[in-house]
Structure 1
Amino acid sequence: MALNVTELLAGAVKTALHAAALPAPEAVAWEIPREAEHGDYATNVAMTLARPARRPPRQVAEAIVRHLPAVAAIERVEIAGPGFLNVFLAPRWCAEALREILLAGEGYGQSDLGRGRRYRIEFVSANPTGPLVIVNARAAAVGDALARILRSQGFQVACQYYVNDAGTQFQALASSMEVRLRQALGESAELPENAYPGEYLVDLAQDYLARDPAGARAALALPAGERLERLGRLAVDTMVAGQRRVLEEYGTAFDRWTYEATDVRAAGLPERAIDELRAAGFIYEAEGALWFRSTALGDDKDRVLRKSDGELTYFAVDIGFHHFGKFADVDCVIDLLGPDHHGYIPRLKAAMTALGHPEAAFDVLIVQLVTLLRDGQPVPMSKRRGEFVLMEELLEEVGRDAARFTFLTRRHDSPLEFDLAVATRQSADNPVFYVQYAHARVTSLFRTAAQQGVAVPPWREVDFGRLALPEEQTIIKGLLQYPELVAGAARAREPHRIAYYLSELAGIFHPYYKAHRILTEDRPLSLARLGLCAAVGQVLRSGLGLLGVSAPESM
């Protein structure tokens, strides 16, 4: 039994068009009407075909309805307005579809859409100059959920974290660490202008001195270059270890951690990429510098790759990293970047195109900023950081599930307001609680059934035709949307669609659960309703898993 409803309906429409000797499109677009009287699915295909068919759209719609083959899923089709086709699903078919959902089990919603295509997603990649902050938590939620969704659709996905442990930021970190260490020893030392002022470096210096006083003093006695390298590496290693720990607590795993200093610069990747660009005719010299002719590929101006003093630019290093460190063993690369990178995207895409990567093989998603609130009021800055609220502080207050789900309630490229008070409430206005509570209700229901001695037979033996209430049909139709919803989220690279869907599913399940007894004296009806609830729990559990959120059995 085919459970991809839009594919089934599209096939019927194409068959009707062929029978009517009308042109058929490659794809038929469907939408789910907001009003029930407009059907379960609607399409404007008749209007899009009016010009090639040389007929008024309503005549095309009438021809489709007249030649539509008998399809068990379709109860009736109505023509609305200038030629919209409104399709109503057959209740009996929906009942059988519910059985198929249950029999599919945890595999329901998965597909082979990706056919094994290899993806690499780089996300978070915070500078190793301090702890992770709240915007990193949002990027981690989006990137990890996207990876999970893509894997569920048959893509092979590797997640990558880039450690920017070279260049001017590293030098500033090393200098800041030296000052904090000297201050810990009682010396008079002032932070330079470009220093990192956070209290975390004070703690790090004091910890280093307490743990290895001789080593700390020996490091300060080294020549300037060695001293800064030693202290900078100590700071980077400590910061990255802390970032790893927090990300692990968040349930976010990375397959590869790439270090700029050793894996990119020392490996000569930027120079190799420049050589390839030169061979392709995209490099020229001017004013003593080496330039990439990015305007030939749509950028607004050419970009410097090597300065006149011989130093590589960040852009040159990034080109080498992407070309050799990302594309080496995958078909597609996705970067998640912050909003301050908008202007950077065209030049990076131009470089990838110049190096022979198809335009569709490289995508950049912008993850917008987060405003932290408490009961609608802005939250003051972190005491430990001195500038931003730390990701660790957020997790301590609201927990992993609430953080992840809340970050996924908006499109990744839209600014998000995160209200801490809402995220910790056990009420319907807390979206993660509302969804998780629906799942907990389902599991509680089955515990009650077991206590009452209700034996649940295999789902093949249950008569789901007993589910005649409008609310029950609405829930089944909502469950039928899930596979296409997940596939659509994968195609569009929009994890928030899953969170939206789960909230809507919980929103139709909770009122039904409150209004109707599931376990009644009518055993066949009770079993049918148990099956419906089981399917709801199954889909909620699956969707929450795609978001990296738990599905509690009790709350």
Structure 2
Amino acid sequence: MIGVVDKMRNSLRQALAGAAAAAVEAGQLPPVELPEYVVEVPRERDHGDFASNLAMLLPKQARMSPRKIAEILLENLPRSVQWLERTEVAGPGFINFHLDPRWVLEALPEAVARQSAYGRVEAGKGRKVQVEFVSANPTGLLHMGNARGAALGDSIASILDTAGWQVTREYYINDAGNQIENFALTLEARFFQLLGREAEVPESGYHGQDIIDTVRRFIEEHGDGLLDADCAKRLDTLVEYALKEKISAIKKGLADFGVHYDVWFSEQSLHSSGKVEEAVNRLRERGHIYEKDGALWFKASAFGVEKDEVLVRKNGIPTYFAADIAYHMNKFERGFDWVINIWGADHHGHVPRMKGAMEALGYNPEALHVILMQLVRLFSGGEIVRMSKRTGQFVTLEELVDEVGLDAARYFFIMRSADSHLDFDLDLARSQSNDNPVYYVQYAHARICSIFRQLAEQGRSIPPADGVDLKLLQEEAELALARRLADYPEEVAMAARQLAPHRIARYVHEMAGLLHSFYNVHRVITDDVDLSNARLLLVEATRVVLKNGLGLLGVSAPEKM
């Protein structure tokens, strides 16, 4: 469904096209073919409600200055454009449109009628997109970086779904390779230690207390029967038990964080199914592999990467890069039109290699989009929190949620763009004040709900939109609120296009500010029934937008606070 902003934009586009045709017919312009031009909302409100660059794109065809073309277009603009108050030529030839402020009021009944569907757009046109995020090694607990990736990935997936994409959320389980070998040796060492035998954890092993706890639980359940078992059997049994426990804990931790996946994809399955070998063979057939020093190398340098990469070691064992290529090949084989990965910033060098590998396999490298996520620092009392008080190691996702709550954790991770370093202030996240941005937004929603409780106590309810005289909304604060909530579908489309959930966080915060400014000056329920009804529709539309926006971020919209 097209929102009021898009309707007005389309109306102005048609008016400009009509003006160009009329100018050509009148001989004021030579025959011209209209280029791809925009009608957009200017960043500065002083520049009007909409602006167009059409005149800036026609000088070569029309053989006259952009300003002159703009003046001719405005002279021929149909006078029947609804809500249009005045136009102007600005700068080198931009056309600015100023509308009657009441044009946005049509958004109110639309928002109220559509409720949770308000803001849904068809930008994705049902195309398939996969969002792969977190994908932490199943060898330990989820930390702050994983938490930020979880909040970002889940919100991006929700935004894309609302923008008309067919979304799959996916977690890649790294259950093969060196980290699993080191994991196995760590488990074995702890197993021996707990049963009184001398053993050392490898330097490249895992030294967390959680590993000791896992092995202790294994011994409690299965005893010491593996002490004298075949080494391979002992390692396989311990790894199988520990992986099952760790993956189960990861699933629970993410579910408690409001994150649910459609697919949990095993790296090991790529090896056992022959997909890694298939990917290597396809690259070889396409002429992108050569042999050197007994190993197989991918010609990454042919795709703008600084150096070539080993795919299969001289011992015949594929590298992690080979498995990763097979995994991404598998993604495109499953028919995804767009593949999105969220990786830590330390993986920046891996991005061009993977894009090059996809191009080498015949896929469009632009269909793979990697979001590089910067680090998180926790602060409390103005000091950096480096260790968990509970474990003496890094602060886990579970501990953070226990400390500040799910809503604050989700919102704080999202309110900055992924490529920005994030300083997470624990004291601010815990505070119940307007300085806390998530509290500020949630309080706006709860404030509106309290109005409706007062209304119910008077035996009244929100009136049907068709019986409300919206023209009574004339105050600056009323129209500012209506204007911004009309932008919501556009904000969703933009956030999807830019993969930028922080836009939605910023938007709902701005909406909350407009609601508080309105509420502090104007009463909603008054003796003037008609005005009250118009304002009730306004705040209900605002409540819908706040709830929907918070929902995209995985944050609740409480009715009482």
- Look up the equivalent residue of 1:277 and give its one-letter code: L
The one-letter code matched in structure 1 to 2:68 is Q
Stretch of structure 1 that moved more, 63-72 or 422-431: 63-72
What's the TM-score, normalizing by structure 2? Answer: 0.94
Cα deviation for residue 312 of structure 1 reads: 0.6
Aligned partners of 1:31 and 1:91: how far apart in 2? 14
User: Structure 2: how far apart are the matches of 1:416 and 1:467?
Assistant: 40
Partner in structure 1 of residue 305 of structure 2: 299
Q: Which amino acid aligns with 2:508?
A: L
Distance apart, 1:264 and its partner CA: 1.0
Where does residue 92 of structure 2 map in the other structure?
A: 82
- Paired with 2:340 and 2:487, the residues of 1 have a C-alpha distance of 27
The equivalent residue for 2:43 is: 33
- Measured in 2, the distance between the counterparts of 1:283 and 1:6 equals 51
Partner of 2:192: 182
Match of 2:423 among 414, 417, 420: 417
Alignment of 1:433-444 (within 5 A): 433-444=439-450
Task: Give the corresponding residue for 1:358.
Answer: 364
Instruction: Give CA deviations for 1:7-27 in whole Å, capped at 9, x if unaligned.
Output: 443333333333334553313
C-alpha separation in 2, matches of 1:19 and 1:314: 63
Alignment deviations for residues 377-400 of structure 1 (CA, whole Å, 9 cap, x no partner):
211312555542211111111111
- CA distance in 2: counterparts of 1:49 and 1:381, whole angstroms: 62
Tell me if 1:199 matches 2:212.
Answer: no
Q: Corresponding residue for 1:57?
A: 66
Mapped to 2, the partners of 1:2 and 1:440 lie a distance apart of 26
Q: Of residues 14, 17, 20 in structure 2, which corresponds to 1:14?
A: 17
Structure 2: runs of 5+ lacking an equivalent? 25-31
1:407 equivalenced with 2:407 (yes/no): no
Matched-pair contact (CA < 8 Å) for 1:198–1:386: no
Amino acid of the residue matched to residue 13 of structure 2?
A
1:281 alignment partner, SS class: coil
Which residue among 208, 216, 238 is the counterpart of 2:245?
238
1:412: Cα distance to partner?
1.1
Question: What whole-Å deviation, never above 9, does each CA across 1:61-95 have from its counterpart, x for those lacking one?
Answer: 32232222222142222333433333222234322
The DSSP-based 3-state class of the residue aligned with 1:494 is: coil
- The 10-residue stretch of structure 1 (520-529 or 494-503) with the greater mean CA deviation from structure 2: 494-503
Contact map agreement 2:110 2:118 (CA 8 A) in 1: no
Whole-angstrom distance in 1 between the partners of 2:61 and 2:384: 56
Name the CA distance, whole Å, in 2 between partners of 1:101 and 1:299.
Answer: 49
Question: Which residue of the partner structure matches residue 458 of structure 1?
Answer: 464
Q: 1:7 to 1:436 in 2, by over 3 A?
A: farther
2:28 paired residue number: none
Q: Distance in 1 between matches of 2:52 and 2:423?
A: 35
Is the CA contact (8 Å cut-off) linking 1:46 and 1:60 kept in structure 2? yes
Which amino acid in 1 is paired with 2:415? T
CA distance 1:20–1:408, change in 2 (3 Å): farther
Query: C-alpha separation between the residues in 1 aligned to 2:474 and 2:468?
Result: 14
1:67 aligns with 2:70: no
- Distance, in Å, in 2 between the alignment partners of 1:202 and 1:302 is 40
* Equivalence for 1:315: 321
User: Judging changes above 3 Å, is the alpha-carbon distance between structure 1 residues 285 and 183 closer, same or farther for their aligned structure 2 residues?
Assistant: same
Greater Cα offset, 290-299 or 362-371:
290-299
The answer to whether 1:431 aligns with 2:445 is no
Q: Note closer, same or farther for the CA distance 1:477–1:49 as it changes in structure 2 (3 Å cut).
A: farther
Amino acid in structure 1 at the alignment position of 2:82: A
Moved more, 232-241 or 523-532: 232-241
What does residue 528 of structure 1 align with? 534
Q: 1:391 to 1:455 in 2, by over 3 A?
A: closer
- Contact kept? 2:37, 2:52, Cα under 8 Å: no
Deviations 1:357-413 (A, max 9, x none): 123321111121111112432113125555422111111111111111111111112
Q: Separation in 2 of the partners of 1:25 and 1:471?
A: 38
Map of 2:274 onto structure 1: 268
CA distance in 1, matches of 2:65, 2:332: 52
Residue among 108, 114, 124 paired with 1:114: 124
Query: Which letter maps to 2:306?
Result: D
Query: Structure 1 residues 12, 97: closer, same or farther in 2, change over 3 A?
Result: farther
Contact 1:61 1:85 in 2 (8 A): yes
SS at match of 1:20: helix
Deviations 1:226-285 (A, max 9, x none): 222221222222111111001000111111111112x11111111011111112111221
Flag as ranges the 4+ runs of structure 1 deviating above 6 A.
none
Q: Quote how far apart the aligned CAs of 1:144 are.
A: 0.7
Match of 2:29 in 1: none
Q: Could you state the TM-score of these two structures normalised by the residue count of structure 1?
A: 0.95
Q: Which residue of 2 aligns with 1:97?
A: 107
Q: Which runs of 5+ in 1 are unaligned?
A: none
Letter of the 2:177 partner, please give it: G
One-letter amino acid of the counterpart of residue 360, structure 1: E
Decide whether the 8 Å contact of 1:33 with 1:41 is kept in 2: no
Question: Aligned equivalents of 1:415 and 1:11: distance in 2?
Answer: 44
Give SS of 2:40's match. coil
> 1:257 is paired with a residue of what secondary structure?
strand
Secondary structure, in 3 states, of the residue corresponding to 1:436? Answer: helix
Counting aligned pairs with the same residue, the percent is 45
Q: Quick one: distance in 2 between partners of 1:224 and 1:97?
A: 69
Aligned mates of 1:409, 1:60 — CA distance in 2: 43
**Aligned partners of 2:37 and 2:53 also within 8 Å:** no
What is the alpha-carbon root mean square deviation over aligned residues? Answer: 1.9
Q: CA deviation at 1:182?
A: 2.1
Which of 491, 516, 519 matches 1:485? 491
Q: 1:44 Cα deviation (Å)?
A: 4.3
The answer to whether residue 218 in structure 2 is matched with residue 208 in structure 1 is yes
SS at match of 2:377: strand
In the alignment, the residues of structure 2 paired with residue 326 and residue 129 of structure 1 have an alpha-carbon distance, to the nearest angstrom, of: 28
Q: Distance in 1 between matches of 2:551 and 2:487?
A: 17
**Residues in 1 aligned to 2:473 and 2:317: alpha-carbon distance in whole angstroms:** 71
Structure 2 Cα separation of the partners of residues 231 and 458 of structure 1:
64
CA contact (8 A) 1:199 1:386 kept: no
Match of 2:226, SS state, is: helix
Contact persistence 1:18–1:24 (CA under 8 A): no
Shift of residue 50 of structure 1? Answer: 4.2
Q: Deviations over 1:96-143 (max 9, x none)?
A: 332333233322211222121111111100001101001111111111
Alpha-carbon distance in 2 for matches of 1:468, 1:175 = 72
The answer (yes or no) to whether the contact 1:12–1:71 under 8 Å persists in 2 is: yes
1:257 and 1:183, CA in 2 relative to 1: closer, same or farther beyond 3 A?
Answer: same
Specify which of 225, 229, 241 is matched with residue 236 of structure 2: 229
How far the C-alpha of 1:473 sits from its partner, in A, is: 1.0
**8 Å contact from structure 1 (residues 327, 333) kept in 2:** no
Residue identity opposite 2:228 in structure 1: A
Query: 1:330 is matched by which residue type in structure 2?
Result: F
Report if the CA contact (8 A) 1:120-1:157 is conserved: yes
Query: How far, CA to CA, are the matches of 1:90 and 1:104 in structure 2?
Result: 25
SS at 1:218's partner residue?
coil
